Amino acid sequence: MNLGAHISISGGVYKCFARAKELGANSIQIFVKNNNRWFSKPFTYQELEKFQIEREKHQPFSVNAHNAYLINLCSPKTDIEKKSISAMKDEINRCEQLKLHYLVIHPGSHLGIGERWGINKIAQNLNRIIEEMAETKVKILLETTAGQGTNLGYRFEQLRDILDIMKYKERFGICYDTCHTFAAGYDITTTGKYQQVMNQFDKIIGLDHIHLFHLNDSKYELGSRKDRHFHIGAGYIGLEGFRALINDKRFYNIPMVLETPKGENGKMDKINLKTLRDLRK
Ligand SMILES: [Zn+2]
Ligand SMILES: [Zn+2]
pLDDT in tens, 225-267: 999 999 999 999 999 999 999 999 999 999 999 999 999 988 9
Q: Are 182 and 145 in contact (CB under 8 A)?
A: no
Q: What pLDDT, in 10s, does the model give residues 16-33?
A: 999 999 999 999 999 999
The protein residues having their C-beta less than 5 angstroms from ligand 2 (an ion) are 177, 214, 259
If you measure from the C-alpha of residue 121 to the centroid of ligand 2, how many angstroms do you get, rounded to a whole number? 22
If you measure from the C-alpha of residue 215 to the centroid of ligand 2, how many angstroms do you get, rounded to a whole number? 8
Give the CA count within 13 Å in the CB-facing half-sphere of 18.
Answer: 10
Q: Are 95 and 52 in contact (CB under 8 A)?
A: no
If you measure from the C-alpha of residue 120 to the centroid of ligand 2, how many angstroms do you get, rounded to a whole number? 23
If you measure from the C-alpha of residue 143 to the centroid of ligand 1, how many angstroms do you get, rounded to a whole number? 6
If you measure from the C-alpha of residue 46 to the centroid of ligand 2, how many angstroms do you get, rounded to a whole number? 30
pLDDT at residue 276 above 90?
Answer: yes
Q: Mean of the per-residue pLDDT values for the chain?
A: 97
CB atoms within 10 A of CB 277: 12
If you measure from the C-alpha of residue 105 to the centroid of ligand 1, how many angstroms do you get, rounded to a whole number? 7
The overall pTM is greater than 0.95: yes
Mean pLDDT of 206-222: 98
If you measure from the C-alpha of residue 176 to the centroid of ligand 1, how many angstroms do you get, rounded to a whole number? 9
Smallest Cα–Cα separation from 28: which of 59, 1, 64, 56?
64
pLDDT at 94: 98
pLDDT at 199: 98
CATH 3.30.2350.10 fits 3-279, yes or no: no
